Amino acid sequence: MTLTAQEEADAVVVGSGMGGLAAARMLAQFGRKRVLVLEQHYTLGGMTHEFSREGRYKFGTGLHYMSVNAGPFLDFMTDGRVQLWPLPDDYDVLHFPGFDFAVPATREQFRARLKDRFPAEAEAIDRYFRTVRWAMAGLAGRNVLSSMPAPVRRLGFPIVERLFPATYRSSRDQLARSFRDPKLRAILAARWGLYGTPPGSSAFGYHAAVPTTFFMAGTAHPVGGPKALNRIVLEILERYGVELRTRQQVQRIVLERGRVAGVEVEDLATGRNYRVRTPSVVSAAGVRNTYALLGSAAEPQWKREVANLPAEPSAIMLFLGLDRSPAAFGLHGENHWFMPDLDGHDGFHRQLGDGTLYVSFASLNNPAARHHTVELLELVDPAAFDRWQGTLDDKRPDDYHRLKDELTRRLIDRLDERWPGIRETIAFAELATPLSFETYQHSVRGSFYGLAATPERLRSPLAGARTPVRGLVVAGQDAWGSGVVGALAGGLVAAGAVLRPRQTGAMWRSIFARNPVREPTNTWQGYLRVAEIEASTPTIRKIRLVAMDGGPVPFSFAAGQYLKIDLPVAVEPIERSYSISSGPGAKDHVEIGVKRDPIGLGSTFLHEDLEIGQALRVSGPFGEFTWDPQRDTGRGTLLLIAGGVGITPLISVLAVAADAGYDGRIVLLAGCRTEDEIPYRQELRQLQARLPGLEVAVFLTQPGPGWQGRRGRIDLEALRPYVADVARVHLCGPAPMMQDVLGLLTGLDVPRDTVHTEAFVSGRSKQTRRERAHAIAVAAERAGVTGYTITERDQSSTFACPPGQTVLDAANAAHIPFPQSCGEGACGTCRVLILSGSYETDTRGMFSTEEIDQGWRLACQTLPTEDLVITRRA
């Protein structure tokens, strides 16, 4: 391999699964290290990433459910931002030949249900759960030791096995020692699929930890799917300066004098080969891959030790998209396990498609899901697919595709046998095999849970975080245990093996403090649930949003602000901004008003497809179009002017005034076309009763014959009576209306700095600006122009602006302090006066005709096409 470049990093993390990302964060946060994460896939996040099919179905790849009490690790990793939606109390339903058993949400209920079902074994059940605690403690002790230096491991491993023998027994052996009834043994052994090794082979410590401990507080699914968890973690890593690269294949871990010196990498997107010099490598690629990356530098005994570890299982996984909800078949989001017999100790050695089958209804557990999906998983021996090893996905022979078709049919048959008719609801089906997981995860033979959870693994000095190579540690599932949280724990112990003792201590203290510190910000990001949908007019809807847990809304806002909402109209959601209509005093909800635009994707979805109970991803609040009655003591008229749905933020202003007992003069002038298009009529009547100083005048441009109010537009004569003592004006509506009113106010000598504006921003406007920016950048490149200069006259400052960048973005990049709020032309905060130079822009109705003629523009919308001279003063 010819290396074309050399780089440096304090630490390199191989793989971006949760273990690798956890290690990366800890090294950056507590070790102050420059961390580079290299991921061979085109998507970050390992088994927390999702994929989509047919433009509507979204599937998780590895995270199906987790403990409702995810513990301090996940809480810390997400800065307390993860939102979980609970599964039903009976979250796992086990189906055996002749009988079923539902696993309840708490240890106490589980124990009580087992005793009720098997009263003759009541004392044995109590003893069993005591044994579980000891076996779990033994596993934790062994895993902690695995992150310590070799002398400690050599001394400690035998001691742990002597103190906690149940940890090292096979699950089948421990269950046989504990119970006489074969049905009871079958129930307690059934969920070995949660960590992947059948009871005849698995170490009981893993069985005690995963199905019998981790999920005993109840289970949950991330709101928004696994990708929501992934998004939060990646945002935090960016904050700590971690660099993440996709499509980067690590070819070799380089050693010098017995310790790590760097990694050699191929950029799969470009074919470029390069080396990164680093003293520390954290491998989240699994133990087998890690030692393979050492190549000839690996000692022969290491290779033998790793090769002698029991083989790992893989899986076949069927992804189904449905055209109706599984709830039609009596399902509520619980998982279902189908066991072919009571003695499923070696279930994945059965004929493919007939083994232990796990069925998950993820869309029922994700209130943000718009389309319904089902995922079926059967753990299998990857040897069944060895004959196609090394073939490319699009060039595999017909017999491979025939097998996939047969397995798909067989699995759907099992599903339809349980829920007759569900076959007819299937609109999409795709089967993944061990070859699929090997391709996308880069796991050895498509291993699904990492190293097999066997006693041999527990005894191996190489199956853990530490390696014999100085500077090389292993993170992820192989460093601790299976699943996303197990991988996360493996990342933490790997980081602890790299950090200095003082740094490691600070890390663990911060994690167990259970008080995650969020990045200081005025905005919140997360999911809210739709609680009510009400028609205000034939074209305007009021939508009430509440916290997912039913408590107070998790942010505060000022009257007049807005929210950004991700709308799931396609595979990738679109972001739209909507003004808040409710007052800040309503702590248990927040409301928005949405007018239907016949060609608008966002408003069409909110009017036609949104359902009560659905979760929407929200960020905010944003905007400077605010009013606080505590700062306004009635020194003049508060004049509110709205066009159509532009009244929405002004309703919030009136609500906060009413809540504060404000007795100053408030005038609301609202323009609409017809009487039935007057929004918030009921709210206005209620507010008039609470605000003695409120005067409301509604203007209709197309009044009906019975209309007794004002007719026509809000013109000069309509404004004149209210401006003599005006102290503050709030103006919101369509751009042409705002431009006209701004000119009228100027003509009436209303000071410009008393007028506050907010404009409608079309969801298409951002795309339009991007298109203009791209065209400007291309034209400049063709002309040989590399950048423009912007001179701010009153500040005596000059800064560069690359072609295609807005004035505001260029100022921010140059650290020039600019007033700003929304960045999308809604608030009008970033006003600038262009004194000279050419540009392209969109005024968004924020200026009167006279101001436009003078050269006033929005910095966030202005794209220079030559050098500019600007000022922020008239």
Q: For residue 761, is pLDDT > 70?
A: no
Is the per-residue pLDDT at 483 higher than 60?
Answer: yes
CA torsion sign for 348, 350, 356, 360 is: positive
Tokens of 597: 């635009």
pLDDT digits (tens, 9 = 90+) for 568-581: 887 778 888 999 99
The answer to whether 205 and 481 are in contact (CB under 8 A) is no
CB 338 within 8 A of CB 97: no
Q: How far apart are CA 161 and CA 175, in angstroms?
A: 18
Average pLDDT across the chain, whole number: 90
Give the span between the Cα atoms of 94 and 92, in whole angstroms: 6
Strand locations in 120-247 (E):
219-222, 243-245
Q: Look at residue 563 in the predicted model and tell me its pLDDT.
A: 94
Q: Whole-angstrom Cα distance, residue 476 to residue 646?
A: 51
- Average pLDDT estimate for 328-344: 90
| Cα distance between residue 854 and residue 615, in whole Å | 46
Non-local (6+) Cβ contacts of 794 within 8 A are 871, 872, 873
Percent of the chain whose pLDDT exceeds 90:
64
pLDDT band at 308 (very low <50, low <70, confident <90, very high): very high
Provide the pLDDT confidence category of residue 844 given band limits of 50, 70 and 90. low
Residue pair 698/709 in contact (Cβ under 8 Å)? The answer is yes
For residues 443 and 437, the answer to whether their CB atoms sit within 8 Å is yes
Type and span of the H or E element at 709? none
Q: Is the pLDDT of residue 634 over 90?
A: no
CA distances, 755 to each of 126, 585, 646, 650, 825 (Å): 73, 25, 15, 14, 16
pLDDT in tens, 89-141: 999 999 999 999 999 998 999 999 999 999 999 999 999 999 999 999 999 99
pLDDT of residue 768: 65
Q: Quick one: pLDDT at residue 816?
A: 86
Average pLDDT rounded to a whole number, residues 222-235 = 92
| pLDDT surpasses 60 at 346 | no
Of 610 and 516, more confident: 610
- The reported pLDDT for the residue numbered 344 is 58
CA dist., res. 204 & res. 552, Å (int):
43
Question: Which 3-state string (H, E, C) describes 435-497?
Answer: HHHHHHHCCHHHCCCCCCCCHHHHHCCCCCCECCCECEEECCHHHCCCHHHHHHHHHHHHHHH
Contact 650, 740 (CB under 8 A): no
**Reduced 3-state DSSP string for 492-514:** HHHHHHHCCHHHHHHHHHHHHCC
Q: How many CB atoms lie within 10 A of CB 391?
A: 12
Q: Is the pLDDT of residue 765 over 70?
A: no
Give the model confidence (pLDDT) of 425-434 as tens digits.
999 999 999 9
pLDDT at res. 769: 72
Length of the chain: 874
764 pLDDT more than 80: no
- Residues 716/639, Cβ–Cβ less than 8 Å: no
Say if CB 228 and CB 479 are below 8 A apart: no
Model confidence at 349, pLDDT cuts 50, 70, 90, reads: low
- Give the residue with greater pLDDT, 251 vs 449: 251
* Cis ω for the linkage preceding 621 (within 30 of 0): yes
| Residues in Cβ contact with 866 at an 8 Å cutoff, skipping those fewer than 6 apart | 788, 837, 838, 839
DSSP 3-state assignment of 320?
Answer: strand
Nearest to 240 by CA among 471, 58, 495, 456: 495
Place of tokens 């199905």: 211
Q: C-alpha dihedral over 543, 545, 550, 552, to 10 degrees?
A: -130
C-alpha R_g of the chain: 32
Buried b (16+ CB within 10 A) or exposed e, 33-64: bbbbbbbbbebbbbbbbbbeeeebbbbbbbbb
Sign of CA dihedral 321, 324, 327, 330: negative
**Across 161-187, average pLDDT:** 96
CB-CB contact of 468 with 299 (8 Å): yes
Spatial distance between the Cα atoms of 405 and 430, rounded to a whole number of angstroms: 9
Around Cβ 790, how many Cβ atoms within 10 Å?
Answer: 25
Ramachandran quadrant class, 845 (left: phi over 0; alpha: psi -120 to 50; beta: rest): left
Q: For residues 86 and 68, what is the distance between their CA atoms, to the nearest angstrom?
A: 6
CB 291 within 8 A of CB 342: no
Q: In which band, very low, low, confident or very high, does the pLDDT at 781 lie, cut at 50, 70 and 90?
A: confident
Do β-strands 524-535 and 472-474 pair in parallel, antiparallel, or remain unpaired? unpaired
* Region 594-605 average pLDDT: 87
Q: Are 542 and 651 in contact (CB under 8 A)?
A: no
Beta bridge partners of 578: 563
What CA dihedral angle connects 532, 533, 534 and 537, to 10 degrees?
150
Alpha-carbon gap, residue 394 to 390, rounded angstroms: 12
User: Is there a contact between 90 and 100 (Cβ–Cβ < 8 Å)?
Assistant: no
Instruction: Please give the average per-residue pLDDT across 164-170, as a whole number.
Output: 97
**In whole angstroms, how far apart are CA 720 and each of 570, 575, 730, 745, 786?**
48, 39, 16, 9, 51
- pLDDT bin (cut points 50, 70, 90) of residue 275 is very high
Asked whether the predicted pLDDT for residue 348 surpasses 70, the reply is: no
With a CB cutoff of 8 Å and minimum separation 6, the contacts of 405 are none
Q: What separation in angstroms does the CA of 631 have from each of 30, 50, 626, 660, 686?
A: 43, 48, 11, 11, 24
- What pLDDT is recorded for position 1? 59
Which pLDDT score, from 0 to 100, does residue 829 have?
Answer: 80
Mean pLDDT over 58-86 rounds to 85
The DSSP code sequence of 234-259 is HHHHHHTT-EEESSEEEEEEEEETTE
Specify the range with the lowest mean pLDDT, choosing from 124-128, 216-220, 479-483, 534-538: 216-220
pLDDT classification of 517: cutoffs 50, 70, 90 = low
Separation CA 750–CA 638 (nearest Å): 12
**519 has pLDDT over 60:** no
Asked whether the predicted pLDDT for residue 822 surpasses 70, the reply is no
- Residue 794: is its pLDDT beyond 80? no
pLDDT recorded at residue 203:
97
* 430-464 residue pLDDT tens: 999 999 888 877 788 888 888 999 999 999 999 99
The two structure tokens encoding residue 352:
């493919």
How large is the average pLDDT for residues 254-267?
95
Please provide the DSSP assignment of 73-117 as one string: HHHHHTTT---EEEPPSS-EEEEETTEEEEE-SSHHHHHHHHHHH
Residue 494 phi/psi, 5° resolution?
-65, -45
Q: Over 80: is that where the pLDDT of 828 sits?
A: no
User: pLDDT grade, residue 347 (50/70/90)?
Assistant: low
Helix or strand or coil: residue 856? strand
